[in-house]
């Protein structure tokens, strides 16, 4: 199943797809546990590991964009573990590729100007089959 989420604060917005046929809940827990405050993040999101991972991903991407503005392609490439020729490169430690091959796709990201720490996660779609999306 393909789940699409819009994540936003006043200064940043992104859209992410999670393909539950490709990424397991166990893998999501592994990603969440890689980062500090994993239990707190999980508790803050009512035990929903997808939302906990989305929270951490949002902050990672926003910080990445704050350090050096990038296009969507540049953001996705920063997470990649191989370059466009298939050669190994450093991705972002603790994260799989964000091009969908591992079940998570960063579909869009946009940076505004205001600073605010309130994160809003809104499910915007769910599809049983990726081809139907």
pLDDT attached to residue 119: 80
pLDDT attached to residue 30: 97
Residue-range domain boundaries for the chain: 2-127
> Per-residue confidence at 87, pLDDT binned at 50, 70, 90?
confident
pLDDT, tens only, 43-65: 999 999 999 999 999 999 999 98
pLDDT attached to residue 115: 54
pLDDT, tens only, 94-127: 999 999 999 999 999 987 655 556 787 888 888 8
Burial of 36 (C-beta count, 10 Å sphere; 0-12/13-18/19+): exposed
Enter the tokens of residue 115: 């600073």
Q: What are phi and psi of 3, to 5 degrees?
A: -115, 130
pLDDT, tens only, 77-86: 999 998 888 8
């Amino acid at each position: 199943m393909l789940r699409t989420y819009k994540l936003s604060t006043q200064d940043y917005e992104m859209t992410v797809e999670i393909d539950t046929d490709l990424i397991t809940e166990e893998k999501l827990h592994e990603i969440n546990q890689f980062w500090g405050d994993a239990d707190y993040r999980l508790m803050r999101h009512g035990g929903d590991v997808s939302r906990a991972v989305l929270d951490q991903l949002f902050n990672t991407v926003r910080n990445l964009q704050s350090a050096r503005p990038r296009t969507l392609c540049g953001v996705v490439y920063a997470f990649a573990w191989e370059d466009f020729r298939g050669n190994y490169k450093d991705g972002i430690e603790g994260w799989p590729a964000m091009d969908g091959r591992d079940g998570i796709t960063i579909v869009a990201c946009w940076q505004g100007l205001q600073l605010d720490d309130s994160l809003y996660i809104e499910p915007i779609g769910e599809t049983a089959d990726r081809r139907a999306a």
